[in-house]
Structure 1
Amino acid sequence: MPHSKKCQEIRLDGRYSLYNGKVLLNSLHITIEESVHIGNFRSGRPNSPSREDTMKILQVTTVFIALVIALSGGLAHAKADTVALYTEAVMTGDIPALETLLAPNYWHINANGHIEDKEHFINTIKNKELVIDRLTFTNARTALISDAKLITGTGYLKAKATPALPEGLMRITVVVITNKGREQVVLFQATPVIATEDCNDGNCKIQ
């Protein structure tokens, strides 16, 4: 007589959408299929959930919703990280992104002390007079000044420019403002860090 085995399969079909950087769970459909395996054959049909099945559903659904919440939090964080978006746009030469990310009164202070306004800086990027190969930003510290955020951190700059720019370890300062509900960068400044015997990165006298 062929050996038979009873199995249950729980399927979750979730529908979600993205709104303002958050993942919204619109619907969740749960199907329980009970099947019997006889030899190499399988027969099955959807079945009404028992008490045990209901507990399984609750456990699986809890895990599913937790994953959705985690994903939503990650997307919201990514959307809010204006400095990271700025860094990526500068390195990739994304002009449309820079047009959006930079405030109308944006100032760019290069590592050589020269300053450019928004129009001149974007043209410099567009014409490849400045090509930034590497720009990092770590150990960030933020100070709130009214509605503005002053963010300073350790950076590393490698770029091709005419005239040539200082490269290497930098003190990078960024000021972010909110303009019509959107965060924009209003100032960027890179200052070369000169290492000393007791401090290599310039962060040794700040908590």
Structure 2
Amino acid sequence: MIRALATSRALLRRLRADRNGVTLVEFAFVGPVLILMIMGLFDLAHTQYTASVLNGAVQKAGRDLTLESANSSKATIEARVRDQIATVMPPGAVIDFEELSHFDFADIGEPETILGDDPTGAAGNGICEAAKGERYIDSNGNNRWDPDRGKDGIGGARDAVLYTVTVTYPRMFPMYTMAGLPSNITLEASTVLRNQPFDEQDRNTTERSC
């Protein structure tokens, strides 16, 4: 009995002193965090590079859209942007285009004017409300009040155009679930330029009820 007990104690001492496999156990603790950090850095780097490519493509497209011939070549310009962005995008990327033309740079991002003593509206909330009998200037001619007075499309001569491209694509690295991130990334790039003065600028507006 005493001999068996001594043997067991000797075995326990040898196991306690044995360091084989320690590295594997330590890596089991450190490995997931390290892998998550590496994939996160790659994901961040790819996002920054994609944003840079997107901004470059949008700037070039914006300049092309200010030409008098832009209306006839708009589809070609957008196809060029798609092709350039697609080189750094994974399959399944969705690319959306939006063009809003304005009479002047100062109109960009501004709501359509609400008439009355208070320029923000009778209710003072900056929203045109039919129930309060408010009226507004329909700057873009779409028969409704808008928080942005820009017209859809690239407009005409001398118009200031806000050109925006939005790209949504799935993440390339499968680490988003571990980090609590969404599965898709959305990037947006915009540029503002004025069309060439190839004709007289048109500014027809109509006063309407909300």
Q: TM-score, normalised by structure 2?
A: 0.27
Q: TM-score, normalised by structure 1?
A: 0.27
Q: When you count helix as a share of all residues, which structure comes out higher?
A: 2
From the CA coordinates, give the structure whose radius of gyration is larger: 2
RCO comparison, higher one (Cα < 8 Å, 6+): 2
Q: When you count strand as a share of all residues, which structure comes out higher?
A: 1
